[in-house]
Amino acid sequence: MNLKIQDLLESGVHLGHKLRRYNPKCKKFIFDQRYGISIIDIEKTQAQIEDACNFLERLVASGKDVLFIGTKKQSQETVREAATTCQMPFAVNRWMGGTLTNHSTIERSIKKYKKYMAMETDGTLAKLPKKEVSAIRREMSRMLRNFEGIVEMKNPLGAVFIIDTKNEAIALSEANRINLPVVALVDTNADPSLVDYPIIGNDDSTRSIRIIVESIVDAVQQGISQRKVQIQDRDNSSLKNEDVKEEQLPVTVPSQKETVEIPASFSTDVDENT
């Protein structure tokens, strides 16, 4: 990770909330309090980013995905762009309650949405009555807002990455309920003890959010590269095993039986006795 303290300072990561919104559990991460604002210890934030990136890199390399969550206005486009870049699922419009804890119901809704999309593609939707088509299109528009980013989720989830745990309290609660590891950008008004890998920093500035998200994306992409190498190594080893099985075993030619010559006198004696 090449992220320097100067980069974090220039992006305003060190600027926390006002003192009246200060959470006492963030005390050990506060460097000072100036002009009524909490100043975050940026060195600790840098170490937290490194720990979080190392964890996510190992996780993604093992074959699991990370769900990016950031529904506040300042983070929506940044999170959408980042998740799309590294081909990870995301939620940026709104958090659907039960996405993690009641996935079977969410999965049924996603199947319904895919069915509507297929009907629109093959022309079936156009053959229905106009009133019914209008109702289906309104429902599809609502589903797109709700399920954008998780429709094509294939690999198992290994962790969630959250921007602003106060704003995404429901998503954080669901992740904790199912013991899903959480990496999050946590401001000084939130409780960092609820997060497995907290990154204490400014979660209201677009620049601050972007520099943190970019570090996370770099770690995820490195994990994806390692995953591809591991898959290729497994494929190569399986091909080698098949080649070994196809090798022919050495053919052994049985030796010819030895022929024993019977003396003529022996056969004569037998004939006479009989």
**Residue 250 in domain:** no
Residues near 172 by beta carbon (within 8 Å), at least 6 away in sequence: 162, 165, 182, 184, 194, 195
> Where residue 135 sits, what CATH number does that domain have?
1.10.287
pLDDT for res 248:
55
CA nearest 6: which of 32, 34, 45, 36?
45
For residues 121 and 77, state if they share a domain. Answer: no
For residues 33 and 49, state if they share a domain. Answer: yes
**Residue 103 in domain:** yes
Q: Please state the domain count of the chain.
A: 2
What is the rounded distance in angstroms from the CA atom of residue 241 to the CA atom of residue 161? 40
For residues 82 and 162, state if they share a domain. Answer: yes
For residues 134 and 82, state if they share a domain. Answer: no
Number of H helices and E strands in the chain, helices first, is 8, 8
For residues 111 and 141, state if they share a domain. Answer: yes
Neighbours of 186 (CB within 10 A): 29
pLDDT for res 19:
83
For residues 78 and 116, state if they share a domain. Answer: no
Any idea what the Cα angle at residue 169 is, between residues 165 and 171, rounded to 5°?
95
**Conformational region of residue 222, where left means phi above 0, alpha means psi within -120 to 50, and beta covers everything else:** alpha
Any idea what the Cα angle at residue 38 is, between residues 35 and 40, rounded to 5°?
130
> Where residue 43 sits, what CATH number does that domain have?
3.40.50.10490
pLDDT for res 235:
74
**Residue 237 in domain:** no
**Residue 74 in domain:** yes
For residues 23 and 120, state if they share a domain. Answer: no
What is the rounded distance in angstroms from the CA atom of residue 73 to the CA atom of residue 181? 25
Last residue of a domain, one of 147, 168, 189: 147
For residues 45 and 118, state if they share a domain. Answer: no
For residues 86 and 159, state if they share a domain. Answer: yes
For residues 191 and 163, state if they share a domain. Answer: yes
**Residue 75 in domain:** yes
**Residue 254 in domain:** no
Kindly report the length of the chain.
274
Last residue of a domain, one of 84, 112, 147: 147
**Residue 101 in domain:** yes
For residues 166 and 207, state if they share a domain. Answer: yes
Residue ranges making up the domain that contains 182: 5-93+154-229
H or E segment at 64?
Answer: none
List, run by run, the mean pLDDT of 10-residue segments along the chain (274 residues): 87 90 90 89 95 96 95 95 95 92 88 91 89 92 90 87 96 96 96 96 95 96 92 75 60 52 48 44
| Stated pTM of the model | 0.83
Burial class, 227, CB count within 10 angstroms (exposed 0-12 / middle 13-18 / buried 19+): middle
For residues 119 and 13, state if they share a domain. Answer: no
pLDDT for res 268:
45
Q: Which two tokens stand for residue 10?
A: 């220039």
